[in-house]
Structure 1
Amino acid sequence: MGYAVVLGEALVDLLEADLGGELIYRQAIGGGPLNVAVGATRLGGEVQYVGSLSDDVLGDRLAAFLRKAGVGIRGATRVPVPTTLAVTTFEGAEPTFTFYGEPPSYALLESDDLDDRMVGDASVLYAGSISLLREPFRSAARKAWRVRGPIRVFDPNVRPTLLPDGGSVTALRDLVEEFFATADLVKLSSADAAVLYGGADPDQAADQIRGLGARAVVVTCGALGAYVSAADGGSMLPAPSVAAVDATGAGDSVMAALIRRLLADGFPADLAGWHRNVRFALAVAGLVCERPGGATAMPTNDELTARWGALL
């Protein structure tokens, strides 16, 4: 089993909460790619996080959190700007994010900061999320994506609050389709698909993305489960029934679980192989939804077994 390289943002979430009738914001480690790196590591994978971290006290906490979780950070660079904050509000268990901090501390990775050998020797390369909206990170991600060798996985992780008009949506679609075209796996949410493809259903979006060149597509659909599309067909898989308290990081945990399976078993040969991987990923996400908070909610294999019994 090799290792994964995860490119993207690490930041601090301020999570809306109630304390004795008073609205407060609880600080939590966050960022979709950071969640993915931590999630895959807790499931037994080896991961190197590659991105930019502030040199302030919050950046120190992010670095310490990654180290404690077992995530490698030799590909991370420190930058002299304040750590970006993501203020997180909720409709039920579903989060909405508003970002504060300019320039964003998470998007300052330069192309020259990349270790091409680290990327090329990896078994899996993850890219995506909001870091791609900004330079210099976008150029660094493109450079990493061109390196031959790893299984390439991508998650657009669309954030509507960062897309103020139709032109920005079109620009994002053009950008992510550039990565879709050469991805081995694309994971996105049904909400992402609706934004990118004008309200398209999961199967329609998956067909569109596979038509661009992606080898497999997984569209998560919240409590309904996930739609899986591979070369030999597509189908919907149900999610386990849970009492969700916080869906923050649930989609990231699906990607983390899929990366873990790719590290262990390689690229599935058919739709049946993807079914095994996605059932595992949905069980991981179900447990995450029963806990508060993103990265700290990512489970270990022992916790999964305690909750669900033996998993495929």
Structure 2
Amino acid sequence: MAYAVVLGEALIDLLETEHEGRPVYRQVIGGAPLNVATGIARLAGPGHAEFGGALGDDVLAGRIEAFLSDAGVGTRAVARVAAPTALAVATFDGAEPDFRFYGEPPSYALYDDVPRDLVDRAAVLYCGSISLLRAPFVDAARAAWAAGGPLRLFDPNVRPRLLPDEAAWERQRALVTEFAARADLVKLSSVDAEGLYGEGPAEVARRLHALGTPVVVVTAGARGALVSTGDEQSFVPAPVVEAVDATGAGDSVMAALAYRLMIEGRPAGHAGWRNYAEFALSVAALVCERVGGAVAMPTLDDLSRRWAE
């Protein structure tokens, strides 16, 4: 059975909402890589995604592990560590979340060993997000990234709140350079592109191609996404929906791309990549109509019902 290995953080999102006129926080299991793993499993079915990361030693970590199992995500690469579960507190400007992170050291950073045999047999390997900012996780991810075999998918998922000065931004750019240079696909947002390089999607795509990345997808929220395959670029519009929560939308794009690559392989030519992106944006649009990250990830049946036309 083809499967994907997804490396990164799992944590608890506390999402600001309102109850009886007062602000309250809704607890949601999250972390961008966990969202990706869940999205793959929802599309492909149980057994097609393995999550690799560290979980803490508290009740919240137990809930995360149970959630992964219930979602059909494998936990053979999960480690438990002596730390409380990291938290991400999100406030909103419209449907877009603004995250602040709590926990020192964060539980997700303490992951130090990716099972090599699991990676070697995988069809797809995903890495990215805030876990790469910390050791020992980044060293474990480097070792997995250097392994041959799987298609490598990278998403920097930049969080400016964790980059307090220019030195931190330079370290983030160095990580992007390192991982993008060996990636088969890089997916990032237009906000990531602007923050990293002060450039638009087309220019950043060309920059990443120069590093060695053959395919770049730059998402632009409700507008859609740029698909760049080196010599050819095109913009794919997103389906028009009334978004209620964009948490996990970008992660669902990566999950959908990983799913198509795992099941169908690398497409031939720009048109094939554009088709993959159109599918991924249909997944993200449905996620935006739902509340809450990982729990919003759809199945193929959900997509068929929503986009029957």
Instruction: Give the secondary-structure state (helix, strand or coil) at the position aligned to 2:85.
Output: coil
Describe how 1:31-50 pairs up with structure 2 within 5 A. 31-44=31-44, 46-50=48-52
Residue 268 of structure 1 deviates from its aligned partner by: 1.4
Describe how 1:3-42 pairs up with structure 2 within 5 A. 3-42=3-42
Given residue 122 of structure 1, which amino acid in structure 2 is its aligned partner?
A
Over residues 258-312 of structure 1, what are the superposed CA-to-partner deviations in whole Å (9 max), with x where a residue is unaligned? 00000111111211001110000000000000111100000111111111126xx
The match for 2:147 is 147
CA RMSD of aligned residues (A): 0.9
Residue 160 of structure 1 deviates from its aligned partner by: 0.6
Instruction: Give the secondary-structure state (helix, strand or coil) at the position aligned to 1:72.
Output: strand
Describe how 1:225-304 pairs up with structure 2 within 5 A. 225-304=224-303
Runs of 4+ residues over 2 Å off in structure 1:
none
Is residue 206–residue 229 contact of structure 1 (8 Å, CA) maintained in 2? yes
Distance 2:270 2:164 in 1: 37
The match for 1:87 is 89
The match for 1:67 is 69
Distance 2:193 2:308 in 1: 32
Distance 1:20 1:297 in 2: 25
Residue 170 of structure 1 deviates from its aligned partner by: 1.1
Is residue 29–residue 294 contact of structure 2 (8 Å, CA) maintained in 1? yes
Over residues 74-95 of structure 1, what are the superposed CA-to-partner deviations in whole Å (9 max), with x where a residue is unaligned? 1100001000000001000000
- The alignment status of 1:96 with 2:98, answered yes or no, reads yes
Normalising to structure 1: TM-score of the pair?
0.97
Distance 1:175 1:260 in 2: 25
The match for 1:166 is 166
Is residue 256–residue 283 contact of structure 2 (8 Å, CA) maintained in 1? yes
Distance 2:119 2:304 in 1: 32
Distance 1:79 1:106 in 2: 9
Distance 1:305 1:203 in 2: 32
Is residue 206–residue 230 contact of structure 2 (8 Å, CA) maintained in 1? no
Distance 2:30 2:70 in 1: 15
Residue 232 of structure 1 deviates from its aligned partner by: 3.9
Is residue 231–residue 271 contact of structure 1 (8 Å, CA) maintained in 2? no
Distance 1:284 1:303 in 2: 9
Instruction: Give the secondary-structure state (helix, strand or coil) at the position aligned to 1:83.
Output: coil
Distance 2:200 2:231 in 1: 19
Distance 2:144 2:223 in 1: 34
The match for 1:195 is 195
Distance 2:282 2:252 in 1: 10
Instruction: Give the secondary-structure state (helix, strand or coil) at the position aligned to 2:88.
Output: strand
Task: State which drifts further: 40-49 or 124-133.
Answer: 40-49
Residue 115 of structure 1 deviates from its aligned partner by: 1.1
Distance 1:271 1:167 in 2: 37
Residue 155 of structure 1 deviates from its aligned partner by: 0.2
Distance 1:100 1:150 in 2: 33
- The alignment status of 1:132 with 2:132, answered yes or no, reads yes
- Percentage of pairs with the same residue: 61
Distance 1:43 1:309 in 2: 17
The number of residue pairs the alignment matches comes to 307
Distance 1:125 1:87 in 2: 28
Instruction: Give the secondary-structure state (helix, strand or coil) at the position aligned to 1:282.
Output: helix
Q: Structure 2: state its 5+ residue gaps.
A: none
Is residue 232–residue 270 contact of structure 1 (8 Å, CA) maintained in 2? no
Is residue 154–residue 179 contact of structure 1 (8 Å, CA) maintained in 2? yes
- The alignment status of 1:217 with 2:219, answered yes or no, reads no
Distance 1:146 1:227 in 2: 28
The match for 2:123 is 123
Distance 1:266 1:107 in 2: 31
Is residue 114–residue 141 contact of structure 2 (8 Å, CA) maintained in 1? no
